[in-house]
Structure 1
Amino acid sequence: MTKKIKNIIVLTLVLAIIAIIFTGCSKETGSVKDEGIKTSLDKIKDSGKIVLGTSPDYPPYEFHKEINGKDNIVGFDIAIAEEIAKDLGVKLEIKSMEFGGLLADLKTSKVDFVLAGMTPDAERAKEVDFSNIYYNAEHGLVINKKDIDKYKEIADLKGKNIGVQKGAIQEDIAKEQIESPQIKALGKVSNLMLELSTGKIDAVVVEQPVAQAYVKNNDALHATDIVFKDEDGGSAVAVRKENEELLEAINKTIERLMKENKIEEFVINANEMMDNE
């Protein structure tokens, strides 16, 4: 046998061994990937809890209420979140924060999902994934009661000081549909209503159920008949990108609740809780 043939045989054996090693590694890796890597949904179920991020200053979606001497975060968003947790077989943990920080905390895994009357517009959809729409509401305008005769249509708001929740869809709506507005964006709707009550701003753009909620509890405020167009429309649940399993589970809960007419029931219950304050 020549030296050249021996070298060929040795090289062939080496390549065969390398192929076997890589095949084994590949199978092992596939096994680890298939059986060892857990999804976010798996981790939630293993932990026994799911963490909700919300901004509880947006009644009837989410708000604070004292029950039996203890402060609680309630609202129809919270009722939906409780149903999601129940269907997953885990407990619900609520983390309160300003609206503008919700998606940042979601993306950094400080919360598992967000329910906060959030509209799934194109910009937000670049950062996170959204569930199916669970509720549709029109956007309205709250003014000081003394200005009832002053603001009858959107054109009357030209150049006025308009309050909006920072980071919310109403900020874009006000900029696009009101001529030359002076926008004041604050983190909490409650602070906007305080500014409105004290005459520091002229009006606040919010969803109509929220407008009605604040007007009920403040005689100085008035919800107008002015309605703003919203092509994106509706509220949805936000989850981190590529959390398909969790998103699918949330959509199943939403579908069930809509079929059972539970969401409208939750809206009514939330409004009744506000009436009883």
Structure 2
Amino acid sequence: MKKWGLTLIALVLSLSLIAACGQKPEAQPGESGGADAQKKTITLGTSADYPPYEFHKSIDGKDQIIGFDIMIAQEIAKDMGAELVVRDMKFDGLLPALQTGNVDMILSGMTPTEERKKSVDFSKTYYTAKQMIVVRAEDKEQYKTMESLTGKRIVVQKASIQETVAKEQIKDAKIKTLSKITDIVLELKNKNADAAIIELPVATSHVNKDKTIVIAEATPSVEEAGSAVAFKKGSQEMVDQANKTIDRLIAEKKIEQFVTEASNQVEAE
């Protein structure tokens, strides 16, 4: 019995030692923790057809989404200690994606209107631009005032501030909404619309590349609300963190630098 007792004790000790050796040491703060540890990510929702804010460009044979919104998003993610993941989608799908948690934030030249503020939280404004009327070059002399657009076919981006401008400032406008800026420009060039309303830096990037379209003298009267970062409702901590990044970038004059760099990249296409 004694022999069996000693054997049993030895067996228990052996099993305990094996179990202890099989346990992974607990990761300490600052350590990677091995393959089980994952770096925090933040997913950006954007509509990458809006140069120089965000657009596709082939770099070293690889399609990439770049633009000054992307540069700002990268800075926000960096300050949050996270890796940025970019998701490209239609502009009118951005807010639903944010509300359902498919993206964590939106940078897409989005104006923080009172209507949008009901469903999402916004950072402070990081960039302000004017709205422009874009027409075919051959028709430029026809559109010197907003009144000259009365009853005309106006194409704008769906669910955008430009759609509101068309409804409120162009009498009897026949408004058509499309999701992508490239489609809006094509609609204008194909004479399926008389004019388009597009934000200044975006309009400039298109007319610089295509001499068949120009910015008209007619100019909407729009309160310059600018663009802001959108977050899911109730995300005040993320809003505060984004605001700190925006304050830093403005103080360092980095946003102006980003806009210039992105504009140069558009022109280099």
**What TM-score, normalized by structure 1, do the two folds share?**
0.82
2:123 and 2:58 mapped to 1: Cα distance?
30
Question: Structure 1 residues 77-86 or 230-239, which shifts more?
Answer: 230-239
Q: CA deviation at 1:231?
A: 2.5
Letter in 1 for 2:118: K
Structure 1 stretches (4+) deviating beyond 3 angstroms? none
Q: CA deviation at 1:232?
A: 5.9
Aligned partners of 1:68, 1:113: CA distance in 2, in Å? 28
Q: 2:176 aligns with which of 171, 179, 184?
A: 184
Write the distance in 2 (CA, Å) between the matches of 1:90 and 1:213: 31
* Residue 156 in structure 1 maps to residue 151 in structure 2: no
- Does the C-alpha gap of structure 1 residues 232 and 137 become closer, same or farther in structure 2, counting only changes over 3 Å? closer
Could you tell me which residue of structure 2 aligns to residue 234 of structure 1?
226
1:169 aligned partner, one-letter code: I
Q: 2:143–2:217: 8 Å Cα contact kept in structure 1?
A: no
Q: Distance in 1 between matches of 2:206 and 2:75?
A: 26
Alignment of 1:1-277 (within 5 A): 48-231=40-223, 233-277=225-269
C-alpha distance in 1, partners of 2:224/2:236?
22
Q: Determine the C-alpha separation between the residues in 2 that align with 1:48 and 1:260.
A: 27
Matched position secondary structure for 1:159: coil
**Root mean square deviation, CA, Å:** 1.2
- What do residues 106-133 of structure 1 show as CA deviations (whole Å, max 9, x unaligned)? 0000000000000000110000000000
> Partners of 2:192 and 2:228 in 1: how far apart?
32
Amino acid in the other structure paired with 2:134: V
- Kindly tell me the number of residue pairs found equivalent between the two proteins: 233
Higher helix share: 1
- In 2, the alpha carbon distance for the partners of 1:143 and 1:201 equals 9
Extract unaligned runs of 5+ from structure 2: 1-37
Displacement of 1:206 after TM fit? 1.0
AA at the equivalent of 2:162 = Q
Paired letter, 2:167:
K
Mapped to 1, the partners of 2:161 and 2:39 lie a distance apart of 34
Q: Quick one: distance in 2 between partners of 1:135 and 1:228?
A: 18
Rounded Cα–Cα distance in structure 1 between residues aligned with 2:84 and 2:94: 17
Deviations 1:203-253 (A, max 9, x none): 100111111011112121111233212236110000001111111100000
Whole-Å separation in 2 of the counterparts to 1:130 and 1:210? 22
Q: Distance in 2 between matches of 1:176 and 1:254?
A: 31
Aligned residue for 1:16?
none
The percent of aligned pairs where both chains have the same amino acid is 48
